[in-house]
Amino acid sequence: MIFDKWKKNKKQEIKAVSKGKIKNLENVKDEVFSKGLIGKGLAIVPEENTVRSPIDGILTVVFPTGHAFGITGKDGVELLIHIGIDTVNLKGEGFEILVKQGQEIKQGEPLVNCDFRLIEEKGYQTDILIVITNHDQFYLEEVSHENEHVEAQQSIIYHCGRKNE
- Write the pLDDT tens digit of every residue in 37-76: 999 999 999 999 999 999 999 999 999 999 999 999 988 9
Report if pTM > 0.85: yes
- Please name which of 159, 137, 130 lies closest in space to residue 13, comparing C-alpha atoms: 159
Closest residue by Cα to residue 141 from 164, 155, 161, 158: 158
Domain map (residue ranges) of the chain: 2-162
CATH of the domain spanning 2-162: 2.70.70.10
Q: Would residue 135 show up in a list of annotated catalytic residues for this protein? A: no
CA distance readout (Å), 84 to 36, 92, 118: 16, 12, 12
In tens, the pLDDT along 98-113 reads 999 999 999 999 999 9
- Higher-confidence residue: 161 or 67? 67
Choice among 82, 135, 145, 159 that is catalytic = 82
